[in-house]
Chain A
Amino acid sequence: MSESHDPFKRDLLAVLPNLRAFAVSLCGNPDKADDLVQDAILRAWGAQDSFKMGTNLRAWIFTILRNEFYSQMRKRGREVQDSDGYFTESMAVHPAQYGTLDLQDFSRALTKLPEDQREALLLVGASGFSYEEAAEICGCKIGTVKSRVSRARSSLQEMLKIEGESDFGPDSASAPAILRSFAS
């Protein structure tokens, strides 16, 4: 493939892998995700005259994709969500490539979050957008993004039963007390 001399196309290509990861995690279904990415590419391409080079192309195309996601969801009248997650399908094909069962559980839990929380968490926690950028992408206030991210984190912790202490045993404050109770 020839080196692209078109900066718009070059920048679009650079954003695609992360945009696709966002789409897959947002809709929890790789096929639908790729359709969404394709729609976003077409829309972005058609609207490139309205995009100012030098501004944030990444945030711009993420905005296009998430708006497309919501408008398709509205059109379908909230059809039953595919909550199998990404890894159930892929694992069968590339078991070695995609880490652990652990990640499969995580991917499934993610699809159980309300869309607005999932989207906020993905933008801030995985795509590396600031709260401010995420707020612009989602068309809401910064405080709203923060509370959505925090609610998403709490729900995930609950669903996955993640507890900081459980991984490392009792914390240092309670450990001596436990030891003492054994000694007496």
Chain B
Amino acid sequence: MSEKKMPHTQSDTRPPQAGRRGDPNEIISQKLNALFSAVEQEGIPDRFLTLLEQLDEAERRQSQQGASDE
């Protein structure tokens, strides 16, 4: 996950002038990161937290049942 902070590690596909200020690839990387942060900052919607709780719960019940059957 830390790799996205280091766009320069992808320099092998860049044109020779890449890396200077105002580099088009740099601008695109910044916009991509801005787009992702905007969504990430919303946090995890409740529906997913609830879903995972329910899945967890169902699994627990099932394993308890399995244990009592033996």
Interface residues, chain A, CB within 8 Å of chain B? 1, 4, 6, 9, 12-13, 16-18, 20-22, 24-25, 34, 37-38, 41-42, 45, 58, 86, 97-99, 102-103, 106-107, 110, 121-122, 124-131, 146, 149-150, 153, 156-157, 162-165, 167-168
B1 adjacent to A128 (CB under 8 Å): yes
B10 adjacent to A126 (CB under 8 Å): no
A residues in contact with B49, CB < 8 Å: 1
Nearest residue (CB) in B for A12 is B52
Determine the interface band of chain B, counting residues with CB < 8 A from chain A. Answer: 35 or more
Nearest residue (CB) in A for B20 is A164
- Nearest Cβ on chain A to B60's Cβ, whole angstroms: 10
Interface residues, chain B, CB within 8 Å of chain A? 1-5, 7, 10, 13, 17, 20-25, 27-29, 31-45, 47-49, 51-53, 55-56
